Structure 1
Amino acid sequence: MTVILVTGGARSGKSRRAEVRARSFAGQPVYIATAEALDAEMDERIARHRARRGNDWIEREVPLDLVEALTETDGAGARLVDCLTLWLSNLLHAERDWPQEVMRLANALPRQQSPVILVTNEVGLGIVPDNALARTFRDAAGLMNQTIAEVANEVEFVVAGLPMKLK
């Protein structure tokens, strides 16, 4: 089992680092995108990510059913999940039981045969948000990151494009 968690702040270089890690494994890599293009700005972000990666990736768009997507794509190349914090946001918006979904993911990861690289944002380094929804999200993201880091073989923190190995 190979599970790698790559975390960092916004625009830290974590997605690029995760792409490099995914390509280091044999087989055609699978990009599991949790983002949804709900506006023009997000369309543009997705297009930039696709252009950077190139055409050698298999792409899956999975805003909610992450465990199912990992199960369906297991047995080939490495899977890159980008990103867990958007997945969490989607779960909260859909009023799904996010702690249960995070535990399902944590339980599924050790059973994966093909490598899994997960990108997540570190959102707890700033000030305490001024509203309940933002505090709920920050707290949920911190708990999710701790849960996934615990089952990961490796954890990297990316700052200014530079990875630091935490685990």
Structure 2
Amino acid sequence: MTSTLVLGGARSGKSAFAQKAAESVALDGRAVMIATGQAFDDEMTQRIARHQADRGESWTTLEAPLALPEAIAALPADAVAVVDCLTLWLSNLMLAERDIEAAASELVAAVAACPARLWLVSNEVGLGIVPETPLGRRFRDEAGRLHQRLAQVADTVYFVAVGLPLRMKPQG
């Protein structure tokens, strides 16, 4: 139906923006959160619990740390969903030593074919200094390439900074 890519820095307000947008069009306020985060430590466990509490009971959470294209492809046409976030998904793929190009192609195809209303949240990591390590530089580069590919198929793209969304696509 429609897909929206929402980019921004850490704590920019991008997730809140996507969630509010999804809630505004969801029937009876029901929406699906496709979560990519994994709780490898206590801090992340607490972070995930806080996000779930902030969303409230009207949200259904679907965990897809690696199988994100499959989760999107399974959404019914009447669904309203938010994916949070693509950079965590990318990190998960890299840690699992998956083929990033193949996974990105699967994701782009799933988003392009998705019949649901979909918001994709991701961190824009290419605005800061060049990462010191080869892994950091690879992550930044892979994220930038993924974002460009998704921006091509998304109906709408926003960049969020200081809680303010700037619509980049379509212009106007």
Unaligned runs of 5+ residues in structure 1 are none
In structure 2, what is the equivalent of residue 35 of structure 1?
37
Local SS of the residue matching 1:157: strand
**Deviation sequence 1:56-99 (CA, Å, 0-9, x none):** 01111110001111122223321110000000000111111111
**Are 2:34 and 2:82, in contact at CA under 8 Å, matched by a contact in 1?**
yes
Greater Cα shift, 153-162 or 24-33: 24-33
**Are 1:79 and 1:115, in contact at CA under 8 Å, matched by a contact in 2?**
yes
Local SS of the residue matching 1:35: coil
State the AA in 2 paired with 1:25: V
Using the aligned pairs only, state the percent identity. 51
In structure 1, what is the equivalent of residue 70 of structure 2?
68
**Deviation sequence 1:25-59 (CA, Å, 0-9, x none):** 23321000000011010011111111111110111
Say yes or no: does 1:139 pair with 2:119: no
- Taking the aligned partners of 1:158 and 1:32, their CA distance within structure 2 comes to 20
Q: TM-score, normalised by structure 2?
A: 0.94
**Are 2:73 and 2:113, in contact at CA under 8 Å, matched by a contact in 1?**
no
Superposed structure 1 runs of 4+ greater than 6 Å apart: none
**Deviation sequence 1:137-160 (CA, Å, 0-9, x none):** 010000011111111000001101
Unaligned runs of 5+ residues in structure 2 are none
Candidates 51, 55, 58, aligned match of 2:57: 55
CA RMSD of aligned residues (A): 1.0
1:117 Cα deviation from its structure 2 partner:
0.4
**Are 2:75 and 2:115, in contact at CA under 8 Å, matched by a contact in 1?**
no
In structure 2, what is the equivalent of residue 165 of structure 1?
167
**Deviation sequence 1:5-33 (CA, Å, 0-9, x none):** 00100000100001011112233210000
**Are 1:25 and 1:77, in contact at CA under 8 Å, matched by a contact in 2?**
no
1:112 Cα deviation from its structure 2 partner:
1.3
In structure 2, what is the equivalent of residue 114 of structure 1?
116
In structure 1, what is the equivalent of residue 15 of structure 2?
15
Number of corresponding residues: 167
Local SS of the residue matching 1:11: coil
1:165 Cα deviation from its structure 2 partner:
0.5
State the AA in 2 paired with 1:62: A
1:166 Cα deviation from its structure 2 partner:
0.6
State the AA in 1 paired with 2:9: G
State the AA in 1 paired with 2:5: L
